[in-house]
Amino acid sequence: MSFSNGGFSKSTPTSPPMSSSLASRLLLNSTPRLLPRSLLTSPSPLFSSSSRRPLELLPSASSPLRARVSLSSSVATTMGDAADAAMDAVQRRLMFEDECILVDESDRVVGHESKYNCHLMEKIESENLLHRAFSVFLFNSKYELLLQQRSATKVTFPLVWTNTCCSHPLYRESELIDENALGVRNAAQRKLLDELGIPADDVPVDQFIALGRILYKAPSDGKWGEHELDYLLFIVRDVGVHPNHDEVADIRYVNREQLKELLRKADAGEEGLKLSPWFRLVVDNFLFSWWDHVEKGTLKEAVDMKTIHKLT
């Protein structure tokens, strides 16, 4: 889709066929390793059969990371679901290969799980799966905010408009670093390249400012949804943008008044315009006051990483 005089025109993204696979990862000695499938299908002293949560392995006394393995993946069942047959090949691969970081409501890591299972409303409700996420808000030197429209092939919230980039840190060493939210910032740099073609040099990791965290739950349709502990990352940079149409249908920079007009249209149901629930929560609770800090160059004064805001 693209904007034209306030309206929209459609374009159809295409994606190359790719193979799908699922890897459950175990972090040992601070090095990601693949867990043999046999361990997932036969009894093992590593696991507790009486609890969904895994036993905890401590690689060394000095390691800051604790490795856990979740047994809640139902690979045979989920991959056999007829509804998944129509899933875009790229999105299917990401759903089964990507391992999200499971956390509790205090943002402590408790395990990991496939992106697929983390977004099934059935598992979100029955197992209270909560995963770590991030939302990037990128402003240019004119203090305009870059928005994206999610691709039509996205499994959750397709074709909705949202902030610059929304995704998940993965269960890997570089994205599990808690100090100064470095793991999340590394993930944000990775996904800005994946989704928007923004080179890493354009968005140095040390230029992201983590302003706060929100916890929210939002169903997308009858099957899929979100339950995220979301880090809100702000950055002010002029960047080159080359969207990946497997991920992004359209982009647009907006100033405050243009964003308010988008909000009005979304509320009125005009032009079929929809906004992502996490973006709307940030807009309604924080964005415009934080935008003041963007323009004044005082973003660091707004930082509050001690509070986790539970929003509905």
228 included as an active-site residue: yes
**Structure tokens, 137:** 């808000």
166 is catalytic: yes
Provide the 8-state DSSP code for 153.
T
Report the distance separating Cα 301 and Cα 286, nearest Å: 14
Distances (CA, A) of 1 to 196, 276, 308: 15, 16, 35
Q: Choose among 82, 147, 92: nearest CA to 119.
A: 92
Catalytic position from the list 97, 175, 226, 228: 228
With residue 18 as reference, give the H or E element that holds it: none
Catalytic, out of 166, 175, 195, 226? 166
Long-range contacts of 252-256 (CB under 8 A, 24+ apart): 252/3, 252/146, 252/147, 252/149, 253/140, 253/142, 253/144, 253/145, 253/146, 253/147, 254/144, 254/145, 254/147, 255/142, 255/143, 255/144, 255/145, 256/288, 256/291
Q: Which residue has the tokens 């920079």?
A: 253
Q: Tell me the HSE value of 307 on the side-chain side, using a 13 A CA sphere.
A: 8
Q: What residues form DSSP beta bridges with 170?
A: 100
Number of H helices, E strands in the chain: 9, 14
What residue has token string 């949202």?
162
- The residues that are catalytic are 166, 228
